[in-house]
Amino acid sequence: MTTIVDSTPGGAALLGDEALALGAIHAGLCAAYGYPGTPSTEIMEYLQAEAAPEFTARWCVNEKTAVEAALGVSFAGRRSLVTMKHVGLNVAADPFLNGALLDIRGGLVIAVADDPGMHSSQCEQDSRFYASFAMVPCLEPRSQQEAYDMAREAFTLSERFHVPVLIRLATRLSHARSSIKTEKPENRPREQLPPEQRNFPSKTDNKSGWMLLPAHARKNYAALIEKQNDLEAWSEGHAEKNLELSADTKKAPFAVISSGLGGNYYEENLPDLKVRYGCIPSRLHIEAYPLPVSSIIRLCESVTGGPGDAGGEVLVIEEGQPFIEEKLRGILPQTIRIRGRLGAGAALPRTGELDPDNVRAALGLDPRPGVPDTLKFSALPGRPPQLCAGCPHADSYETINRVVAELDAAPGHPNVAVNSDIGCYSLGASPPYSAIESIVCMGASIGMARGAADAGLPYTFAVIGDSTFIHSGITALIDAVQANTPMTVIILDNSIVAMTGCQPTAVASDRLKALSLGPGLDPAHYAELDARKQRLEENAARLKQEAAYRGLSVVVFRRECLEAARKRIKAAKKQAAMEQSP
């Protein structure tokens, strides 16, 4: 059983991801599904470490299949959780958006970890826009405690309104630790449920609520629209406890709206803010969406503008994209000035993360005293990420570069395209390899290589990892097979999902051949090569041969990830020691 974590001295501290996972367990979780992606990965890893007979926790091929599995759990009347990073929600958008039209009975929670500042992502996408698009509730915790509490609330909320619920985390919360106070875990055996719910876990009997034929979907969409007023009333309940109206509005030059981690950074500056203005401005912290419009209006009514600015001013401090700020422009009178991340002279930077210092500047406070120059260390040289010493991808890229140089020795390789994908092998873009020319999204390498071939480039390569190929490369490969596109798909098979911490791949390496040949690839143009420096010459010769073929070929470079090998050997030794102990 899961250990209860409390706030007593010496108690265990949880990451924000882990706190959310524990909240889901204590809410009576039945099943969790997800795909690894920083900064969300630790949610599923915690669930798998704590796995008990009461619930299942499994990695899936991709985020779309994860949401679809969770919908099946809800259909059967039980509670389910889906975990992913922000760009994973793009992959899951189809079932997520359509799920809002279903008659959700078993609570369905989608936990999405956004990555402001793009620490390990290709964009700063803000998941709150997806929740608004789907017209479903969104909860945004600002602490590990709230991550735990909101996970529990989200399941109840999902069952109350019969919709999926999104919880939005951010990197700094996902990967920071704090002790939390837990509540009694919820037991959900059928005999302990309220009488009106004792049919659970039996599948839904509302077929029209789960069958999105146009006739049913129109009715379900109308029902979703009708829920919006109740959802707004719910979000107003959250806002009421977070609305702080200034006792002296004449002194306050502006009001503040904060959300998520922005609220923490604002509060770090409160002591100096009171000294600077003689009071604390009116403030609303938003932690639940849809936006609490009534509370926003009440806040703004408390603002007293200065000379020439009778409408007053509102400063919006939100981590991520200007979601609230954009919405306010359709809610507030034009006489109220809205400051945040938008427009010329924006109060906060348009990109990247917030922090106490840039929030401090937006509040009109002087910079904090810095470290004297005499005590500062000299700037350390940059340490860009790089492939591990001995990584099999390094040998694969050396082979690819050899072949590309032989195919087209002209500067810039105008007749060759090397399209890559998301994974450890993305580091092949940097010196000393500089081997790849594009990185867009999971699975894009194969589609882009096909398009480049259709555009007339004689030699096109798609470089993709084994787990990414299974995630979203197979469908693009089927397209290429049907057209017999003259291109070469290079699968870098290190037998693990390495970049996110060595999670297992959904399909073992020895099945890649069957997956590749299944759609109809010519077996003569499928090759498996040992990714080792000693085999550089023979590997380059085979790759060059397949590049010259005027049809589709697949070349697999295979060698186990070194870090995965270390973990496997360590686990084997541990298991052997346990078996030998009395």
Higher pLDDT, 546 or 105: 546
* CA 310 from centroid of its chain's CA atoms: 42
Indicate whether 78 pLDDT > 80: yes
Residue 249's pLDDT is what?
58
Rounded distance between C-alpha atoms, residue 552 and residue 489, angstroms: 8
The strand order across the sheet containing 31-34 reads: 56-59, 31-34, 80-85, 108-114, 165-170, 138-139, 288-289
Whether residue 28 contacts residue 186, with contact meaning beta carbons closer than 8 Å, is answered with yes
Are domains 14-237 and 243-362 of this chain identical in fold?
Answer: yes
Which CATH topology does 14-237 take?
Rossmann fold (3.40.50)
- Residue-wise pLDDT tens digits, 136-183: 999 999 999 999 999 999 999 999 999 999 999 999 999 999 999 998
Dump pLDDT digits (tens) for 492-509. Answer: 999 888 888 888 888 888
Give the pLDDT of residue 198.
46
pLDDT of residue 76: 87
pLDDT tens per residue across span 280-310:
899 999 999 999 999 999 998 877 554 444 5
CATH code given to domain 243-362 = 3.40.50
User: For residue 211, what pLDDT band results from cuts at 50, 70 and 90?
Assistant: confident
Contact 38, 119 (CB under 8 A): yes
| pLDDT value at 557 more than 50 | yes
Considering the chain, what is the average pLDDT of its residues? 88
Mean pLDDT of 394-410: 88
- CB distance 68 to 125 below 8 Å: no
| Confidence at residue 187, expressed as pLDDT on a 0 to 100 scale | 64
Confidence category of residue 264, pLDDT binned at 50, 70, 90:
very high
Task: Provide the residue type at 396 as one letter.
Answer: S
Domain ranges of the chain: 14-237, 243-362, 392-565
CATH architecture, domain defined by 392-565: 3-Layer(aba) Sandwich (3.40)
pLDDT average, residue stretch 423-448:
90
CA atoms within 13 A on the CB side of 296: 27
Q: Residue 8 has what pLDDT?
A: 47
410 band by pLDDT with thresholds 50, 70 and 90: low
- Global pTM? 0.86
| pLDDT of 1 over the 50 cut | no
Distance (Å) of CA 61 to CA 35, 73, 307, 412, 495: 7, 17, 60, 36, 14
- DSSP character for 102? S
Q: Taking CA 126 as the corner, what is the angle to CA 441 and CA 303, rounded to the nearest 5 degrees?
A: 160
Residue 197 scores a pLDDT above 70: no
Where residue 561 falls among pLDDT bands split at 50, 70, 90? confident
| pLDDT for the residue 289 | 97
Residue 200, pLDDT > 60, answer no
Q: What is the pLDDT of residue 371?
A: 66
Contacts of 224 (CB under 8 A, 6+ apart): 100, 101, 135, 163
Check whether 401 has a pLDDT greater than 60. Answer: yes
Q: Count CB atoms within 10 A of the CB of residue 262.
A: 26
Residues 6+ apart with CB under 8 A from 386: 427, 430
* Dist CA 102 CA 211 (whole Å): 8
User: Taking 90 as the threshold, does the pLDDT of residue 376 lie above it?
Assistant: no
